[in-house]
Amino acid sequence: MTLKDKKYIIVGGGLAGISVAIQLIRAQAKVVLFDKNENHSSVVAAGIINPIVFRRMTKSWRVDEFLPYLKTFYAKLEEETQSNFFHELPMRRLFSSIQEREFWLQKQLKESFQPFLNFVTEDDMNYSVSKNEFGSGRVRDAHFVDVKTFISKGKEWISQRAELVHEAFEYSELTTTTYKNTVFDEIIFCEGFENNNNPWFKSLPLDQTKGQTLTIKSNELPTDVSLNRKCFVLPLEKNLFKIGSTYEWHNPTTTITDEAKTEILGHLSYLTDEKVEPVFQEAGIRPTTRDRRPLIGTHPNHRNFHIFNGLGAKGYMTCPLLSFEFVQYLAQVGSLDKEVDIKRYFTKL
Ligand SMILES: Cc1cc2nc3c(=O)[nH]c(=O)nc-3n(C[C@H](O)[C@H](O)[C@H](O)COP(=O)(O)OP(=O)(O)OC[C@H]3O[C@@H](n4cnc5c(N)ncnc54)[C@H](O)[C@@H]3O)c2cc1C
């Protein structure tokens, strides 16, 4: 059976479910996507795509493969939905120590880092638009996704080509081949942090990592570049900036807190002394894993039940290619990256 002859149910219409649905529909499969329309991650995310892990001055996992693919993926969807949600993002890292600056200076000489690091210049060392104790460096090829537009346009694209059902999926109504009155071939769970309710996959080690962001008004922060030290500063419209994010492990709540606001403003004080005005605060929950690799694959006993989850803090970078590879795997023309395959946790299921 090719994908063309198959009907897939997808549960969850965040970044994961939307991307998998798009890939399946492009492969001519029939898709029914269930989403209960309460999103606490994909639409809260800053949507930043940063090729560098600053803390360790390493390249992000598989970045050389993820970046070219995601550019095509987002650009194609923009074209087909006549929208504009994928943008280049000039990014400047303010070094947090002399040691970090030394790391950067060493890495910028390596050929494999050159697509992502500009050579540090005199101007970077003396950058004075923000506080700058140790000098700064400019990242190349960083981007951001306007996440709310991506999610709404992604859903619109799917609803024009497949079935999009805005209701909560009820596990008790599922048999091996039917859900209520729908007969299906395979089912894919993309429920983000709510996987922990899923009867078949809840034993997988998925953590719920709360993150809060603060939108502020500033008259001094630069609007032409995203600054980064202790926190990110994402310029929005006019003099509004999104600042974030907190990492609150094992925390599945979506309430905003004063502690988080204080923490974010404390981190921002490494970049500016300005008394900024908080305007809006948001909280979401990342589906994370200890080994920082997604949870993708097939249930060992229910061979038509699959999961695509655990995108963590970098979903907007990894999801486009991982969803493509997942659909190749479903079509039996490709295999899963061993690092994401849930086989690594089969003893838990
Ligand atoms: C504060 C914050 C900042 C972030 N910043 C970035 C960033 O800058 N860059 C980046 O790449 N990533 C970022 N992320 C991470 C990114 O948001 C996640 O990797 C990604 O959104 C996870 O997508 P998902 O589809 O797996 O989960 P979700 O977005 O949570 O989607 C799951 C969907 O499934 C639905 N669902 C669940 N159960 C059911 C059910 N039973 N029936 C029907 N529907 C169901 C939910 O309603 C939801 O819509 C950030 C996250 C947070 C919280």
Q: What does the domain layout of the chain look like in residue ranges?
A: 3-45+148-205+291-348, 91-141, 207-288
Question: Residue written as tokens 């920082």?
Answer: 292
**What are the backbone dihedrals phi and psi of residue 128, each rounded to the nearest 5 degrees, phi first?**
-125, 10
Tokens representing residue 168 in the block: 């909560």
Question: What is the value of pTM for the model shown?
Answer: 0.97
152 closest CA partner among 85, 79, 237: 85
Question: Tell me, what's the pLDDT at 55?
Answer: 85
% helix, strand, coil for the chain, step of 5: 30, 25, 40
Nearest CA to ligand 1 atom 18: 315
Is the CB of 147 within 6 Å of ligand 1?
no
Q: What's the gap in Å between 274 CA and the centre of ligand 1?
A: 33
CATH architecture assigned to 3-45+148-205+291-348: 3-Layer(bba) Sandwich (3.50)
> 41 CB less than 6 Å from ligand 1?
yes
Residue 1 pLDDT: 62
Strand, helix or coil at 49? strand
User: Which of 10, 32, 42 should be mutated for ligand 1, with most atoms under 8 A from CB?
Assistant: 42
Ligand 1 proximity of 256 Cβ (cutoff 6 Å): no
**With a cut of 50, which residues of the chain have pLDDT below it?**
none
pLDDT at position 199, please?
97
CATH fold for the domain made of 207-288: D-Amino Acid Oxidase; Chain A, domain 2 (3.30.9)
Among protein residues, the one whose CA lies closest to atom 48 of ligand 1: 39
CA distance 26 to 73: 12
Q: Which residues of 154-165 are buried (b: 16+ CB within 10 A; e: fewer)?
A: bbebbeeebebe
State in Å: Cα 209 to ligand 1 middle: 11
Q: What is the pLDDT of residue 56?
A: 87
From atom 50 of ligand 1, which residue's Cα is the shortest distance away? 45
* Cβ 36 under 6 angstroms from ligand 1: yes
Give yes or no for residue 16 CB within 6 A of ligand 1: yes
Sheet holding 295-298, edge to edge: 163-165, 30-34, 7-11, 186-189, 305-309, 295-298
Cα–Cα distances (Å) from 257 to 38, 77, 213, 261, 281, in that order, read 20, 36, 11, 7, 9
* Residue with CA at minimum distance from ligand 1 atom 53: 284
> Does the beta carbon of 47 sit less than 6 angstroms from any atom of ligand 1?
yes
